Structure 1
Amino acid sequence: MDNQKPFKTIEEQIKILNNRGLIIDDETEISLRQFGYYSIVNGYKWLFLSRNSVGKIIKPERFIKGSSFFEIRGLYDFDKELRSILYKALLEYESNLKAKVSYIFCKNHPEEKSYLNVKNYRDYKHNSVNKTINNLDNTIKKYSLKDYDNAIKHYLNNYNQVPLWVLVNFLTFGDINYLYRNIDEQVRISIAKEFSKKYKDNYNEDVKIQVESLDSVNHLVNNFRNAVAHGEITYYMHLTKGPSFQNIKKDLNLKT
């Protein structure tokens, strides 16, 4: 079978871009060698391609007259910086959520391994609760078998159990999101109150953040965190399906 996408040298890549009407500069070769044709061109060319009267990209592809590689690289750099800013904020939120979930859950359920008890969840007969508990248990087993030292192995070897405030540091955001969704309602309410206090500390404004609002925020954060962490195109990312954010706007007194 013929190779539909044969290998192209940097020189051949530049020639393709030039033949399609893109203005090439001295930095083009350096950029392609450093970051790759796919990451820069295939990821960020779309705003610069010629389109027909109904907005469809003309085939074979041609760049809009006057478009340059410098502009495409600029959009690539902008998106890279945007991901860096978002990632920092998303990690801070993740750390806040993990700290609040573990602290308040353990305060309400101080018994050992309470997070493995189905009765400490709001709908303990639901499959999602069993899935959450199994995931927590499997995370402990996974890190207990690692060939390097870690906090989970330390607590198992010395105390025969792993506190939730230790375990949360080994959970993905998706894991902590599902945990928050399934823990008992009073704990969820208490966590939402803590975020309300944090909002007042940051913005000097009294708000009452509802548990459903945090569910919506967590859904949004989970999607964007994964995209940002894996270097996906971010500047035009949107969710095709997701929760309503009307409750968030209401909680934060946002009119738009």
Structure 2
Amino acid sequence: MFKKEFKTIDEQIQILKKRGLTINDIESASRYLLTNNYYNIINGYSKPFLEEKEKYINGASFDEVSRLYFFDKEIKQTLFNAILDAEHHLKSLFAHRFAEIHKGDPEAYLNVSAYNDDYSQDIAWTITNFARIIRSNRRYDNNSIKYYIDNYGAVPIWVIVDYLNFGDLLTLIKISPISLQNKLAEDLISFIKANNPDFHKKFSPRVMISFIKNIHETRNICAHNNRLIYSSCRADGKYFKYLHSQYNIKPEDPRNTVYTTFISLQCFISRTEYAKLNNTIRKRMKTLDNHLFSIETNSILDLLGFPNDWYNLPPIQQG
């Protein structure tokens, strides 16, 4: 039997006050809870302000909890936009290298022999997915798939790749032959060098794919508006000495945090794109710092894996 009873907004407010949360503007807080969902705001973002399960620390306020919710939302939007840039670059690079290998066969992606046969189940799923995308889009006007079928009789990889989601793209890269993965990893070095001019090492497919996996997981958190603070990826990204050592991350340290995913993005986006991401996150953290009084901002940075006082570092020059 379901034991959680419905609570009116007034009852929700009283519960919060009873637990020691300061609410300076009852009317504003009531309207906020009505339009933003008590469960999402309070259950999702109260934890850093709790002394124990149902007791807030001295001085904790509703304004701080709602501000933390807004901060988390803004960081997700910022990260998501940067991940869209990374996805765009990966699709373009992959399509070019795949087409280069399979000259004369525009639909080689429908052929089992185009992939690494160690991944038979993923290959079958990928080919079925490609066929489904073509089948569902060829029936409708005003899309590139129908245009290419009508005018050229086939849909090349550089057209259909834009119909894949990030998870599809990750699988496609994972099941590709190591020769193609190497070409893709080598192409990405241009982004690494743009963000780190003295870089002269190799970027291996193993590291590349592990980074993409964690970027994909973080992307899903952002896209589905789940809570970013307290989140972590299922596995550590592979240790990339050149990159991680710059940020004092040792091989034994966790590499599944928002922070490690954030720094890995400089392997997939331009210097201008990364500078914008970096500087925007800093601004959001500084704004949060101006609105937190009962807890330290560093406690929130820690939940995201960022070093203490990270937002006080100088910005990256853009352009």
State the SS of the aligned residue for 2:51.
Answer: coil
- In 1, distance between residues paired with 2:23 and 2:236? 44
Corresponding letter in the other structure for 2:49: F
CA deviation vs aligned residue, 1:156-195 (integer Å, no higher than 9, x gap): 2333321111111111101000000111221111110000
1:49-60 to 2 correspondence within 5 Å?
49-51=50-52, 57=53
Aligned residues: 244
- In 2, distance between residues paired with 1:130 and 1:187? 19
State the SS of the aligned residue for 2:117.
Answer: coil
Instruction: Determine the structure 2 residue equivalent to 1:107.
Output: 100
Match of 1:197 among 190, 194, 205: 190
Any gaps of 5 or more consecutive residues in structure 2? 250-319
Instruction: Determine the structure 1 residue equivalent to 2:162.
Output: 169
**TM-score (structure 2 length as normaliser):** 0.71
| Aligned-pair identity (%) | 34
Instruction: Determine the structure 2 residue equivalent to 1:153.
Output: 146
- In 2, distance between residues paired with 1:120 and 1:90? 27
- In 1, distance between residues paired with 2:49 and 2:183? 49
Distance 1:169 1:47, change over 3 A: same
- In 2, distance between residues paired with 1:125 and 1:211? 16
State the SS of the aligned residue for 1:187.
Answer: helix
Task: Give the conservation status (yes or no) of the 8 Å contact 2:17–2:23.
Answer: yes
- CA apart distance, 1:75: 0.9
Match of 2:224 among 221, 230, 251: 230
Instruction: Determine the structure 2 residue equivalent to 1:54.
Output: none
Corresponding letter in the other structure for 2:14: K
CA deviation vs aligned residue, 1:64-88 (integer Å, no higher than 9, x gap): 2321111101111111111111111
- CA apart distance, 1:141: 2.0
- In 2, distance between residues paired with 1:125 and 1:238? 27
State the SS of the aligned residue for 1:199.
Answer: helix
Instruction: Determine the structure 1 residue equivalent to 2:34.
Output: 33
- In 1, distance between residues paired with 2:119 and 2:221? 33
- In 1, distance between residues paired with 2:244 and 2:18? 52
Instruction: Determine the structure 2 residue equivalent to 1:127.
Output: 121
- CA apart distance, 1:225: 0.5
Any gaps of 5 or more consecutive residues in structure 1? 52-56
- In 2, distance between residues paired with 1:148 and 1:167? 16
- CA apart distance, 1:125: 7.0
Q: Which moved more, 1:216-225 or 1:120-129?
A: 120-129
- CA apart distance, 1:124: 6.5
Task: Give the conservation status (yes or no) of the 8 Å contact 2:72–2:227.
Answer: yes
Instruction: Determine the structure 2 residue equivalent to 1:5.
Output: 4
CA deviation vs aligned residue, 1:112-160 (integer Å, no higher than 9, x gap): 2011111111226722222222222222223334x56322222223333
Instruction: Determine the structure 1 residue equivalent to 2:67.
Output: 74
Task: Give the conservation status (yes or no) of the 8 Å contact 1:50–1:62.
Answer: yes
**TM-score (structure 1 length as normaliser):** 0.87
Instruction: Determine the structure 2 residue equivalent to 1:242.
Output: 235
Task: Give the conservation status (yes or no) of the 8 Å contact 1:207–1:251.
Answer: no
- In 2, distance between residues paired with 1:243 and 1:20? 38
Q: Which of 1 and 2 has higher RCO (CA within 8 Å, sep 6+)? A: 2
Q: Which moved more, 1:210-219 or 1:193-202?
A: 193-202
Corresponding letter in the other structure for 2:238: F
Instruction: Determine the structure 1 residue equivalent to 2:81.
Output: 88
- In 1, distance between residues paired with 2:119 and 2:39? 47
Task: Give the conservation status (yes or no) of the 8 Å contact 2:106–2:157.
Answer: no
- In 2, distance between residues paired with 1:112 and 1:16? 63
Q: Which moved more, 1:130-139 or 1:173-182?
A: 130-139
Corresponding letter in the other structure for 2:41: I
Distance 1:23 1:177, change over 3 A: same
- In 2, distance between residues paired with 1:123 and 1:253? 35
